[in-house]
Structure 1
Amino acid sequence: MSEMTGAVSASAIAAKKKLSSQFFKKGISIAIFSGIMYGFYSAFLSLGMTKGVWGDWYGANKAGLSAFVITYVLGALGSAVNDSCSAIWAMLYAGIKGKFGDFLRCINTTPGRVMILAALIGGPISSTAYVIGLQMAGSIVIPITALCPAIGAILGRILFKQELNKRMMLGIVICVAASFMIGSTSITGSAPKGALLGIAIAFIAALGWGFEGCVAGFGTSMIDSEIGITIRQATSGISNLIILIPIMGMLAGSVKLSTGLVFQAFTSGSAMIWFSMSGLCAFVSYMSWYKGNSMCGAALGMACNGTYSFWGPFCCWIVLGVIFGKSGWSIPAIGWIAAVLMVLGILVISMNPLDLFRKKED
């Protein structure tokens, strides 16, 4: 009888280990999928900013707009349109899941306010810097923005006294080395004009997202991640539209000009098709990232999501360069090598890579 009980127990333990392994592997797949979707978000966003009225704004005659408006105001506007579309997708999803009421109730709570703060950092500042960098330097800036886990680790040490051990420092060094490799492409003949400034602006996005990660980590520990993402995207879209773009308009000399640009952007049907796609991909990317983290662990989930440093340039090259035949989206060999190196650095920061093999042994 005891032998039979032991056999049943061993079988149950083996079945549990198999289920746990499958759950873990599925989490890794979902987290990697979030990185792929982030790549498509970048590609569709950039495509949308070439269609409809955007084509006139960035065209040969620039529609009579100043260099400041072309570079910075339109960058902020592109970020605002995308985040607004992403917020709509998020709220539709919350409604379908029966969580829209929870979303409204959570806004005026402590974790809700924390998510709003994170969104104000990552939305108007980082997202706009990301879009401006994309427009100025192309997809080469995407691996630069992937420095955010390294920056987050450093800020976590400074602000919250979190651990920053030798392994994590090694990962940071690898990421910095990769960013220098990417930066070196801006002084070659293959880089577009203004690439160096675009890369520098991309560092601002990485800094903001690294800080956002520190702040949002506190908020999402006390709130449903699906609600947290909805708050984040809604705050980002609204703050871009009613705060950042009017300020940009004032700097350009006319708030009325920025208001007119917003209206034209949202009524340009051929462009909004692609912005709706980029907003959907951004929302799905965030959703997959949080879900993957819950299944395979935040550290490994962050590393898998960080593969967007490779998927971003790849998706932009496929969508914009290959399918739509647009020039300027090819990546030099050193850029691809640096993107893969950045993924390795993020993995080292997030976890001990040897743990992957130890899990298999267990």
Structure 2
Amino acid sequence: MTVDLRADKPGSRALCGPAGLSLRLEPRALTVGLLLVAAAVAMAVVLIGTGDFEIAPWDVVQTLLGNGTPANDFIVNDLRLPRVVVALLVGAALGMAGAVFQSVSRNPLGSPDLLGFSYGSSVGALVVIVLFKGGATEVAAGALVGGLITGVLVYLLSYRRGIHGYRLVLVGIGVSAMLVAVINYLLTKAELVEATRAMVWLTGSLAGRDWSQVWPLLVTCAVLFPLVLGQGRALRMMEMGDDAAYALGVRVERTRMLLMLAAVLLTTAAAAAAGPISFVALAAPQLARRLTRSPGSNLLTGALMGAVLLLVSDWASQRAFGADQLPVGVVTGLVGGVYLLWLLVTERKAGRI
């Protein structure tokens, strides 16, 4: 075992252990991460107490600790807690997936929304809804299969002696356009009931989520998060270029394929649980990078930022529009559209696009 305590940047600490496992600690990134955890916990408590029957934050905490009234216990643990847990997991999954795609493509526009994976999940779900009249479980399975097929297709079309960032983005945009056409065709062929159900799913919503959506998503995140974080060092090396990564001993194509597969699975699992919620995967890693001021992939902070963004968006969807509660996908779409325009202007001023 070789122990290397050199840090990658001033003020950071690198801790290494067996089998080359390393953890780089940067004070600012650690502070931002802790603040995001605190914000996520606080927002989760507020969101659990939000609804037609308001519950004070202290009463929510007491109920979660097992000291609430029977009425509060039913509302908190059976009705609202699953929705909040799904929001946390979906936001974290999208944030980490977006960080992976942006790092692999070395492009701030590299996200599941623009690369077509979310649309692939949508096509898979709509095929089940419109053509087979499937239930919730079948729709989730269709979304998963559709996203995986799209991921394989984008990878194969982008591959030419390796994956180039802009080629990946351009292929993803082209595949997205074709998948949107398929979605529109399926909607025109659907009967009124199926079309209405499909539109609700396509918007992205956390309403009515229960523990049956929590457990598959929790297992997926529990398996894939450590896998992705374990490749963080290799991912940072790959950002320097394939040749430099090869020289440092990274098996570039194998690592890239593994990371992209994990990110596609996270994206499709999130879509299966809550629908194709847009722009969280695009915005979360960039916001995390600006807060930490770290040039790395920001995998963990990106996941935490995604969780916070989705919790805040869900709260806004319930409170910011009076009695008219909106699906959370509408709020993330509104905010994300503004963010995308700002990002494009910023990148153009910087001469990167």
| Greater radius of gyration (CA) | 1
Larger RCO, structures 1/2 (Cα 8 Å, 6+ apart) = 1
* TM-score > 0.5 by shorter chain: no
* TM-score, normalising length: structure 2: 0.30
Q: Hey, which of these two has a bigger chunk of helix by percent?
A: 1
State TM-score, norm by structure 1. 0.30
